[in-house]
Amino acid sequence: MLQIATCQFPISANIQRNCDFMTKQIQQSAQQGAKLIHFGECALSGYCGVDFKSWSDFDWKELQTSCERIQSAAERYGVWVVFGSSHRLTGDHLPHNSVYAVNPQGGLVTRYDKRRCSVKDLNHYTPGTHPIIFEAFGTVFGMLICLDYRFPELYREYMDIGVACVLHSFHDARKKGSSLSSVIAQPTLQGHAGNTAMWISVANNSAAYQSFSSLWIDPSGAVGKHAKRHRSDIIMNKLDMERHGAYVDMVRTFRSDARSGSVYADKTVTDTRSEDRSHF
């Protein structure tokens, strides 16, 4: 059984402030028994086009220093830290909107780059191209970012390569009030979890107005804990393979056989009443 902390705080353009929130929540989460700690989209850097207008005066040196602080905190408390930030590219190429995975030794293991960038995102970010996974405590994790959730094929892709839990980072906040995502994000994510038999940790920005609070979803599609809306918060949840593992295996096996048609092959029949669609 793996304890996972899903964290939220009011992400801003102030990198040092973001880092202070994160290091404090890493400490608090570790003290509560978390082995993996998950933060939202652009949690460290802030979100270009939302928290700040452009990259013209962005302090990449401060971001690097802050990344190193997160690495040190992961090592100090012996935890995995998965967090959103911006990844600088070379020349005139726009950065990636990324999520980093840092191990308990403070080492950067891998990075996922947001693939389904919005039209607005493309003014500020270069889209990614690959699914990215990593393994921790014998569990395979995948990472997604914000608008990726509107593309169910990305969840199915992770299911097909054996991912048990998706760490989905959002920055869906600083709104004037409720938005479309306030209505559809949670049920859509529940559907993804239920359809793929995966756990989902949903970490969102808590700055008001927060479209939806951070939450945890199990492989049946049921919601576990919710963070408090519009507030800094940490929710602790359990990825319990002993409880859900048999269900996950059964669902994935059946759905694979159903998609291939093998489970129905000896049950289909040739029948005139079946072929005739013009009569009751």
Look at residue 245 in the predicted model and tell me its pLDDT: 79
The token duo for 126 is: 């270069």
Sheet strands (E) in the chain: 2-8, 36-38, 80-87, 96-102, 108-113, 133-136, 139-145, 165-169, 199-203, 215-217, 223-226, 233-239
Main-chain dihedrals φ then ψ at residue 110, nearest 5 degrees: -165, 175
Task: Give mean pLDDT in consecutive 10-residue pieces for the chain, a chain of 280 residues.
Answer: 96 98 98 98 97 96 98 98 98 97 98 97 97 96 98 96 96 90 96 96 97 96 95 96 83 88 92 93
Cβ–Cβ under 8 Å, residues 102 and 80? yes
Look at residue 248 in the predicted model and tell me its pLDDT: 87
Residues 228, 233, 239: CA angle, nearest 5 degrees: 95
The token duo for 47 is: 């979100």
Cα of 224 vs its chain's centroid, Å: 16
Look at residue 246 in the predicted model and tell me its pLDDT: 86
Main-chain dihedrals φ then ψ at residue 51, nearest 5 degrees: -80, -30
Look at residue 244 in the predicted model and tell me its pLDDT: 77
Domains and CATH numbers, the chain: 2-275 (3.60.110.10)
- Which residue in 216, 256, 257, 259 sits closest to 240, CA to CA? 216
Return the SS3 of 176.
coil
Decide: residue 6, CB within 10 A, 0-12 exposed, 13-18 middle, 19+ buried: buried
CA distance 141 to 136: 8
Q: In this structure, which amino acid lies at residue 2?
A: L
The token duo for 208 is: 């008001």
Q: What is the pTM of this model?
A: 0.94
Please report, in angstroms and rounded to a whole number, the separation of the first and last CA atoms in the chain: 53
Look at residue 251 in the predicted model and tell me its pLDDT: 86
